[in-house]
A and B are shown apart, each in its own frame.
Chain A
Amino acid sequence: GQQVMQIPQYQHVQEGEDFTTYCNSSTTLSNIQWYKQRPGGHPVFLIQLVKSGEVKKQKRLTFQFGEAKKNSSLHITATQTTDVGTYFCAANSGGSNYKLTFGKGTLLTVNP
């Protein structure tokens, strides 16, 4: 089935530093979605990327989809303590398959 590799597994930063997590697939993706899970909480949808080379921004968060639609990244500028949590990418290969396969996630901790 569809697999996405996500790195790094953990990232600890000082408040104000930037943060990036990366997802890679060996196959072309129909789309990629990003979710955030706060400690003790459930995943919350952040954004979806569909087009090759697409870039979307949400305040301090920048999401990119690679030209070949095989990789994606989430970049947070000037992290805040509220950014703490695990960020997951999720993808499917399209068609009639509605199933999402999640990356292993990147746990971000921010030191105030």
Chain B
Amino acid sequence: GAVVSQHPSRVICKSGTSVKIECRSLDFQATTMFWYRQFPKQSLMLMATSNEGSKATYEQGVEKDKFLINHASLTLSTLTVTSAHPEDSSFYICSASVGASYNSPLHFGNGTRLTVT
């Protein structure tokens, strides 16, 4: 159980275009989902906390107008990278926890490798 599906797994786009990444909890409801970014051989950096039915909470230094997050249902959160630039190329991973407690482990999607040319 506790499967998180992320799509697409890889995307290549041209500079200036927008890319949407979907994150779905397949067998549980996720009031909260988290979006991380990971550069090669580095740790996971939390970008934002996606809250169902309300605005996302962004971490310091993350541009909310560039990384649009929508959490319209209890099983789907989307991250849209707007007007992508080469420096946005990275590995983006979503995660969710089954329980609504800080003790609940995170279940990660497979990640999306974004390459902006």
Contact = CB atoms under 8 A, between A and B. Distances in A.
Interface in B74-117: 93, 95, 97, 100-111
Contact of A99 (B34, B42, B104, B107): B34
Given A42-B109, A92-B102, A100 B43 contact: no
A107 B43 contact: no
A50 B103 contact: yes
Contacts of A97: 102
A45 B2 CA distance: 11
B43 A105 contact: yes
Interface residues of B, number: 23
Contacts of B34: 99-100
A103 B43 contact: yes
Interface string A98-112: 111111110100000
Interface in A41-67: 41-45, 48, 50
B25 interface: no
Nearest to A39: B41
A88 interface: yes
A101 to B, nearest CB: 7
Q: Which of A41, A42, A90, A94 has the most CB of B within 10 A?
A: A42
A67 to B, nearest CB: 20
Interface residues of A, number: 27
A31 B44 contact: no
A65 B93 CA distance: 27
B43 A98 contact: no
A100 B106 contact: yes
Interface of B: 32, 34, 41-44, 46, 49, 93, 95, 97, 100-111
Interface of A: 30-31, 33, 35, 41-45, 48, 50, 88, 90, 92, 94-105, 107
27 contacts: A30-B102, A31-B102, A31-B103, A33-B106, A35-B106, A41-B111, A42-B108, A42-B111, A43-B106, A44-B108, A45-B107, A48-B103, A48-B105, A50-B103, A88-B43, A88-B44, A95-B102, A97-B102, A98-B32, A98-B49, A98-B102, A99-B46, A99-B49, A100-B46, A100-B106, A101-B46, A104-B43
